[in-house]
Amino acid sequence: MAVKNGKEYIEGIDRQQINIWYQGKTIEKPLSSHPAFNGLLKTQAEMYDMQHQEKIMEQMTFQSGTDGERYGLSFLAPRSKEDLVRRRIMMELWAEKHHGFLGRSPDYMNTTMMSLYTAAHLLQEYNPEYEDNLIKYYEYCRSKDITLSHAFIQPFASRLSELLDEAQDSITAKVIDRNENGIVVNGAFMMATQAATCDEILVFPSPLPSMLEPDNPYAFAFAVPNDLEGMTFICRESYSDTSHYDHPLSSRFEEMDAMVIFDHVFIPRNRIFYLGNEEIGVRLFSEGNFHSYAGHQVLTRYIAKTEFLLGLISKLSDEQNISLEAVTMERISRILTMLENLKSLRLASEMMAEPDAKGYYVPAKKPLIAATIQYSSFYQEMLSMLQDISSSSLVMLPTEADLASDAGDFISLYLKGQDTSAWDRISLFRLTWELAIGPFGGRQKQFERFFFGNTRTLTSRMYNVYSLDKYKAMIDEFLHHGETQVF
């Protein structure tokens, strides 16, 4: 079958021979046995297994009208509102597994590839080969159920060097050579989430303009396996740990980020999606409705995460014996209000979806941008609630090993809750600690804060999608209604 199971997923990752650095050393053993990666691999393996569970297989996959094969449903290019609803239901099923903590749950990149695929036709006018490459690569990903990461953030210093000296010393990623069979790329990308736990990587720097048109060396997009010669991955510190009790989130959901360096890497010709013209990059994303399709996936993730936080804050209120206080009612009510907003915005994006020129149904953009703009502050507000409710209980937290030691009796006696054992009470606060003030939660917070860009980017995205003329005209009409201006 075209859809992977968990075992195949892990074997694929372990099989890769990539040049990956962690804490100053290269990792030699299989990632599935490395504590920084194995929790996440296990979680994602369980997610892939869901595709084969009889009860939900119909919801997790779709049967191709062309070849009769079953594919992962997040690869489905939607032809109707019903298709959008099917996509949402599938994404909800995975989100029930990862509770919104996987920013790079495979459906995210599957959706990204699908969105690019729906715009493949525009490549034809530049170069029919590009269109062909993109379509074939989408089909390849779909039929092999490829797990994909992506890279696009360039080094901070490149932003200036590029302008100052286009030709030589710039550290911006660029095409430095090309021949019949492909191109040679040099440069680095700052932060590829899950790069090491994926099969391949999609690379698309924001294509900046150049004087060298139509051979802008900074304008390109391609996808390659992780183990090409010249590729290097450098990981950040891991926040994970093997104990589900001590670190319930990071032991399952730690998505490692890596810097990805391309040192004279040769990219085969059939993997290149465009080259030399920055305009194409812009159009590929906008005409592929990337922000709408990805926004729909991300909003589904936001909702799952909000529900998890709703549950956690309700449990904590019970545990702290404050469920009946007015402040608790206000907090819960505030989260419910957020949740209703998010769910209604998702519903609106589906109900108001419209077909694009090629007949693909695109979720309405305005409600999705509205959700994105708000989520960063919603999320921070909920984290602040966690901190408020937990107070000093968030600091003095023994570990699984402490509980199992000779000192465990003291802990069981003195750290019990009103109606809960010490084991349960500590377990709840360890979860809260990871989310509210631990390093896993810190990265998640930063991640949500900037998911689709900073405030300026998001507000201008919203501003530009609207026309204000009719609202201004309404005021004019109101002020001049029935008036004869005499001055």
Residues 305-324 binding its own copies (CB under 8 A) are 307-308, 310-312, 314-315, 318, 320
Q: In angstroms, give the least distance from the CB of 440 to its own copies.
A: 9
Give the span between the Cα atoms of 345 and 100, in whole angstroms. 17
Q: Does residue number 333 form part of the binding site for its own copies (CB under 8 A)? A: yes
Q: Output 1 or 401, the one with its CB closest to its own copies.
A: 401
- Of 124, 264, 344, 354, which lies in the binding site for its own copies, with binding defined by CB under 8 A? 344
Q: Output 282 or 347, the one with its CB closest to its own copies.
A: 347
Q: Output 103 or 106, the one with its CB closest to its own copies.
A: 103
Contact 191, 156 (CB under 8 A): no
CA angle 272, 148, 195 (to 5 degrees): 105
Site for its own copies in 92-121 (CB under 8 A): 99
Q: Does residue number 261 form part of the binding site for its own copies (CB under 8 A)? A: yes
Q: Does residue number 482 form part of the binding site for its own copies (CB under 8 A)? A: yes
Nearest of 292, 409, 405, 283 to residue 355 by alpha carbon: 292
**Residue with tokens 């000093």, as numbered in its chain:** 392
Q: Output 199 or 246, the one with its CB closest to its own copies.
A: 246
Q: Does residue number 36 form part of the binding site for its own copies (CB under 8 A)? A: no
- Of 257, 285, 287, 294, which lies in the binding site for its own copies, with binding defined by CB under 8 A? 257
Using only the alpha carbons of the chain, give its radius of gyration.
Answer: 25
Contact 359, 79 (CB under 8 A): yes
Give the span between the Cα atoms of 388 and 19, in whole angstroms. 44
**Residue with tokens 């609803």, as numbered in its chain:** 85
- Of 165, 340, 354, 355, which lies in the binding site for its own copies, with binding defined by CB under 8 A? 340
- Of 234, 266, 283, 356, which lies in the binding site for its own copies, with binding defined by CB under 8 A? 234
Buried b (16+ CB within 10 A) or exposed e, 153-176: ebeeebeeebeeebeeebbbbbbe
- Give the Å distances, CA to CA, from 264 to 164, 187, 207, 223, 278: 22, 8, 19, 15, 21
- Of 188, 284, 298, 353, which lies in the binding site for its own copies, with binding defined by CB under 8 A? 188
Q: Does residue number 392 form part of the binding site for its own copies (CB under 8 A)? A: yes
Q: Output 61 or 238, the one with its CB closest to its own copies.
A: 238
Give the span between the Cα atoms of 447 and 178, in whole angstroms. 36
Q: Does residue number 230 form part of the binding site for its own copies (CB under 8 A)? A: no
- Of 72, 100, 248, 363, which lies in the binding site for its own copies, with binding defined by CB under 8 A? 248
Q: In angstroms, give the least distance from the CB of 448 to its own copies.
A: 11
